[in-house]
Amino acid sequence: MADTVPYKLEQMVDELDDLERKGMFTRIVEIYRLAVMRFKGDLELWFRYLEFCRDKKNGKRVLAKLIRFHPKISEMTETLVLCQLQKAFQLYEEALQLVPSPMILIFHQVGLCLHYQEEFGIVPNSLRGTSAAYVVFVYKLLLCATALSHNTGLAFRQPVHGQDMEHNSFKLPSVHLLCLLLLCPLVSCQLNYKFYDYTCPNLTKIVRSGVWSAMTNDSRMAASLLRLHFHDCFVNGCEGSVLLDGGEKNALPNRNSARGFEVIDDIKANLERACPATVSCTDILTLAAREAVYLSGGPYWFLPLGRRDGLTASESDANEQLPGFSEPLENITAKFTSTGLELKDVVVLSGAHTIGFAQCFTFKSRLFDFGGSGEPDPLLDTSLLTSLQSTCPNQDDSDTKLAPLDSASSSKFDNLYYKLLLNNSGLLQSDQALMGDNTTASLVLNYSKFPYLFFKDFGASMVKMANIGVLTGQNGEIRKQCRFVN
């Protein structure tokens, strides 16, 4: 499909600039507005499928087939009559005649531009009326997407195997950057998507190779690297402190459970040979977590880089700041919001439990003595309860045995975690607690139905998390070895 190919921004700028000269850009915006008005569902999903089946002669038959296999399409078509389906094709075909590029990208840009114009009302005069500048403006906003808590979806397109996604080159016209100065926090803007382009051009390939090798040898490693990144960022920010010997490694949430340190060490050693004293351990861990998700079948997101390594690690801070497996939702939410994240991020990032395992001691109380009652958790699915009691018998020597967090697909990154929660089959008490609040339960329901929505939001939340309390500029250091300060 066309949307799997990384798209050159300069080509889109040229095409939209040509449309502007021909007076057609206004019509593209009109088509977008009309499509939004007519189709109340996921507009992007509509155009993805229309892109896929546009060459088919019988559009109705193709859509009928898609409806059987995709619940989101089925849900939307329940409210649409045939003439509206035909209108969708007509709008899409007209847009394709105007713009030869993948239309999904064009509509991303138009939609985001209109959104920011309306929400902030501060688009500089130099950007008004120029289609090319519209796109450049969106790209500049994308550089600070975390600060704005938005994402265009461009960052979630699957990369072509063998291509280094961090090194796509963009030729950007000169654009007034007032909007960036107004909207971007200083730290977020000091990180840069091209930070290592010249100093370590093979960075992503080296990290991906190291992660893939580790996952090949240990199927649990993807989840371990993702958890390690999470535990790093939640304790005084993303600055690689969890990698230092002593300190956070000895905290209760990490002791005898945090894994993947040797993988980061190996990647660091390879990078030191390729580009000495250049790449921070924090950036390595941040990239490794992304590659672990992607190589497990999950989304891919772009990351601004340039984080530096911290100089200290605190066991007490880790014990205090990391969310616990049996904490109530309000406590977990408070720990998230203290870092700048939101309630939605709690639900989204909990979806990381779609891969990996948990030790029996983290959930055994739900099996035998929930809340001191001497009985199992009444909410836990009975068939799962029976299975877990067999895996984790009520005796001390079973504490370190393992059970999958997602019993349906423990090594594949998907949205089945949320479906399990709907069936009262969440393994950890903190997981199932998401169903006890109307807001979080609604998000769980959405992510259980729409995997693309989960993937999109997961990438956005991961970018936000990766920017918590980062060190840049002259703060911190670039460690020579990730386990020790220089």
Mean of pLDDT values over 116-127: 40
Residue 194 is predicted with a pLDDT of 87
Q: 128 vs 75, which has greater pLDDT?
A: 75
Angle, vertex CA 140, rays to CA 233 and CA 155, nearest 5: 55
The single residue of 70, 108, 115, 231 carrying the catalytic annotation is 231
- For 19-44, write each residue's pLDDT tens digit: 555 556 566 566 655 655 555 444 54
Whole-number Å distance between alpha carbons of 282 and 67: 44
Region 323-466: CATH code: 1.10.420.10
Tell me: is residue 77 an annotated ligand-binding position: no
78 or 312, greater pLDDT: 312
Complete DSSP assignment for 367-397: HH-GGGSSS--TTS-HHHHHHHHHHS-SSGG
Closest CA to 462 of 243, 225, 199, 265: 225
Residue 353 pLDDT exceeds 70? yes
Asked if residue 280 has pLDDT above 80, the reply is yes
Of 3-7, 259-263, 306-310, 472-476, where does mean pLDDT reach its minimum?
3-7
The reply, when asked if residue 391 is annotated as ligand binding, is no
Is the domain defined by 203-319 classed in CATH 1.10.520.10? Answer: yes
**235 annotated as a binding-site residue:** yes
End-to-end CA distance of the chain: 48
- Residue 281, judged by CB atoms within 10 A of its CB (0-12, 13-18, 19+), counts as buried
Residues in Cβ contact with 221 at an 8 Å cutoff, skipping those fewer than 6 apart: 211, 214, 215, 259, 260, 263, 292
On whether 414 is known to bind a ligand per the annotation, the reply is yes
115 is in an annotated binding site: no
CA dihedral in degrees (141, 146, 151, 157; nearest 10)? 110
Can 231 be counted among the known catalytic residues? yes
Q: What ranges do the domains of the chain cover?
A: 2-181, 203-319, 323-466
Is 266 annotated among the ligand-binding residues?
A: no
Q: What is the pLDDT of residue 25?
A: 55
For the entire predicted model, the pTM comes to 0.65
**Mean of all residue pLDDT scores within the chain:** 74
Task: Determine the pLDDT at residue 138.
Answer: 43
The answer to whether residue 91 scores a pLDDT higher than 80 is no
248 annotated as belonging to a binding site for a ligand: yes
Distance, CA of 249 to CA of 228 (rounded, Å) = 10
Higher pLDDT pick, 480 / 129? 480
Residue 359 is classified by DSSP as E
Mean pLDDT score, 174-203: 61
pLDDT tens-digit readout, 395-445: 888 899 999 999 888 889 999 999 999 999 999 999 999 999 999 999 999
Is 70 known as a binding-site position? Answer: no
pLDDT at residue 214 in the model? 93
